[in-house]
Amino acid sequence: MISVVQRVREARVEVDGQTVGAIGAGLLVLVCAERGDTEAEANKLLAKLLKLRIFSDDAGKMNKSVQDIGGGLLLVSQFTLAADTTGGNRPSFTQAAAPDEGRRLYDYFVAQARQAHPVVATGQFAADMQVHLVNDGPVTIPLRIAPAVA
């Protein structure tokens, strides 16, 4: 799975002018299931997100996690993270999981996050979404959890 993590002061997702998910301080996570991904990759990504120390401690050092600060998670599906632009100017998305599999893994990821963390909001899978955020820092980190090689 591939994701882009943004430390935010606040973030929200709108669909058709209606807010479908919002958080205060925390992490906005754009997430994409790629071909070959399984629940194992979703679990590893979630574990990494919950422990990622990118929030400042009292000394101003990035030493706290979203769990440490009691922040929210806003999880937004974004298949375009799997874009391949090596073949020209129009991106190819062949590395993204098929839509049904992408939805299944995204739903699984969200369900696991809700079991592990008290504040979880989402976008809407496959919708035309408008994402509003105040990036704190700015801090933006790409994360990729590759499938285990057999």
- Residue 34 in tokens: 């790629």
**Cα-flanking dihedrals φ and ψ of residue 11, to 5°?**
-160, 150
Catalytic, 19? Answer no
Catalytic residue among 79, 86, 95, 140: 79
**Cα-flanking dihedrals φ and ψ of residue 67, to 5°?**
-65, -40
Residues forming beta bridges with residue 122, ordered by sequence position: 75
Catalytic residue among 78, 109, 115, 122: 78
Catalytic, 78? Answer yes
Catalytic residue among 18, 19, 55, 80: 80
Q: Which amino acid is at 97?
A: A
Q: How far apart are CA 133 and CA 131, in angstroms?
A: 7
Catalytic, 79? Answer yes
Length of the chain counted residue by residue: 150
Which residues belong to the active site?
78-80
